[in-house]
Amino acid sequence: MRISPVTPGLTNVFALIIRARECRCSAILFLLVALSACERKAVDSTSVVNTVKLSDRQISSLATKKIFFGHQSVGADVVQGIRDLMAEDPSLKLNIVASASPESIHAPAFVESPIGENRKPQSKNQAFAAILANGMGAQGGVAMYKYCYVDIDLSTDVKRLFDDYRNQVSALKSQYPRLTIVHITVPLTTVDMDMKSWVKILLGRPTIRDVAAKRNEFNQLLRQTYVGTDPIFDLAEIESTLPDGARSYFTRGTQQIYTLTPEYTTDGGHLNAVGRRAAATALLQILADL
C-alpha cells in the first residue's frame, strides 16, 4: 500500500489547528486562574467585631417570655451564641432549657431542641406541629423552627417546599391564636469555587452556586410573604452581612445571590464565635420586641 506524501500546504493547516488548540487551552487555563483569584478570601475572624448590644428594656422583655426553638446544627450554633452573650453580659439571664416538651415548662424560658431530620424538611414540619399539639400551641407564647442549608439541594422544588411551609404555618396560626410564630430564613453557605467548579461552569454543569441560588429563592419567597405582617428572623441576611454593612454575594444576571461570609464560619456552613454572636444578638432583639 502506497502512502501519499503530505503536501507543504496541508502541513501548514495541521500546524495552525494544533496552534489554535493550544491557544484555546491556554485561554481557558488563564480564565480559570483569573476567576479563582477573584474569589473572596477569608480573614481572621478575630478581626471582625460586632458591637451591637441588647438594651436594658430588651433584656427585661426577654425575661418574661416563653419561647420554643426547633432546629438542627446551625440552630445549635445560634443557641451557643446566646450562651456566649450571657457569659459576656451578667444582666442577660435567660433560662435556656434543652427539651422537646416545652409544654412542661411553666415559667419564662428559652426552650430549644433538635427536630426532624436534615435533608428531610417535611420531617421538621411534622415534628414542629407535633410538639405544639402536645400543649404549647394552646398555652401560647413564641415558637419557631428553621430548615438547614442541607434541606435545599439541586433537586429541591423551592416553590413546593415554600408552599408546604406556608400552608402549615397558616394552619397552626388558625389553630393556636395565642401563639406567635417567628419565621426564619434558610441559612447559607460559602461558595468558594475551586478549579473543578469553574470547569463545571464553563461546561454548563451545576455547581454549589446553583444550590445557593435555590436557598436565596426560598428566602425571597419567605420575605415577600411575611415582611410587614409577621416577625422574621432573617438569619440569611445576618450571615451574609458584616458589621460594616458589606455583603457577601455573587451575581447571576441582574440578581445578587447572597452567601455566608467567610468571616463568620470555619467550615463553610456552621457559625464560628463571631457569627454565633451576630446571629444570637439579632434573634434576641427580634424576640424582645414581640
Q: Which amino acid is located at 162 in the chain?
A: F
Helix (H) or strand (E) holding 20: helix 8-37
Pairing of the two strands 109-114 and 66-71: parallel
pLDDT per residue over 203-258, tens digit each?
Answer: 555 689 999 999 999 999 999 999 999 999 999 999 999 989 999 999 999 999 99
Structural domains of the chain, ranges and CATH numbers in brackets: 49-288 (3.40.50.1110)
Distances (CA, A) of 100 to 44, 51, 127, 137, 280: 37, 33, 10, 13, 20
The closest of 264, 252, 161 to 207, measured between CA atoms, is 252
Phi/psi for 175 (5° steps) reads -75, -35
Pairing of the two strands 66-71 and 96-98: unpaired
Q: Are 69 and 75 in contact (CB under 8 A)?
A: yes
Q: Are 283 and 78 in contact (CB under 8 A)?
A: yes
pLDDT per residue over 245-264, tens digit each?
Answer: 999 999 999 999 999 999 99
Pairing of the two strands 249-252 and 255-258: antiparallel
The closest of 122, 62, 70 to 101, measured between CA atoms, is 70
- 50/231: higher pLDDT: 231
Distance separating alpha carbons of residues 28 and 57, to the nearest angstrom: 58
Task: Reply yes or no on whether the pLDDT at 10 is more than 70.
Answer: no
Interior angle at CA 174, CA 168 and CA 178, nearest 5: 115
Phi/psi for 132 (5° steps) reads -65, -35
How much is the pLDDT for 114?
Answer: 98
Locus of grid cell 455583603: 247
Distance separating alpha carbons of residues 182 and 146, to the nearest angstrom: 10
**What would the mean pLDDT of 156-175 be, rounded to a whole number?**
98
DSSP letter assigned to residue 185: P
> CA torsion 115→118→123→125, rounded to 10°?
70
**What would the mean pLDDT of 89-109 be, rounded to a whole number?**
97
**pTM score > 0.85 for this model?**
no
3-state secondary structure of 197: helix
